[in-house]
Amino acid sequence: MPTYLVRARTETLGPGRRARLAENLTTAHADTTGTSPGLVQILIEDVQGRDHFIGGRLAPTGSVFVRGHVPAGADEATMRALAGAARDAVVSATDVAAELVWVYLSELAPEGVVEAGTPHTRV
């Protein structure tokens, strides 16, 4: 199951933005990879302004950090497209400038995944 962890200051993900962000990220992943939207998981966490640093300094207000854990096997072009689509999904949902969005994608091998209590197997 593709999983996205989104971290941002509380004020960045204010009312209405969380659901829109989850919807946008889900759609971006599904459209880019062909995965069923029902398999995409989004977790959104608040970060206090004093807890996010870039280069040893407080991160600019509005910064959004996205960590995506996706099934291994996509080609380079798909991974690049997915990272860009995730960035665009954040920008669209939050009105944050693209320069303040950080997206990191990690591929997960099926043998390292347990979903809903059941180990994942290769298909």
Using CA atoms, how far apart are residues 83 and 105, in angstroms rounded to an integer?
A: 7
- What pTM was computed for the model? 0.90
Using CA atoms, how far apart are residues 17 and 62, in angstroms rounded to an integer?
A: 13
Superfamily of domain 3-56+70-117: Macrophage Migration Inhibitory Factor (3.30.429.10)
Residue 48 has pLDDT above 50, yes or no: yes
Q: Report pLDDT digits (tens) over 71-119.
A: 999 999 999 999 999 999 999 999 899 999 999 999 998 888 887 778 7
H/E stretch holding 57: strand 57-58
What is the structure's pLDDT at 122? 52
Using CA atoms, how far apart are residues 9 and 7, in angstroms rounded to an integer?
A: 7
Round the average pLDDT of the chain to a whole number and report it.
92
CA 122: distance to chain centroid? 24
Using the CB atoms, write b or e for 78-89: b if 16+ within 10 Å: ebebbbebbbbb
What is the structure's pLDDT at 100? 97
**Better-scored residue on pLDDT, 1 or 102:** 102
Strands 57-58 and 53-54: antiparallel
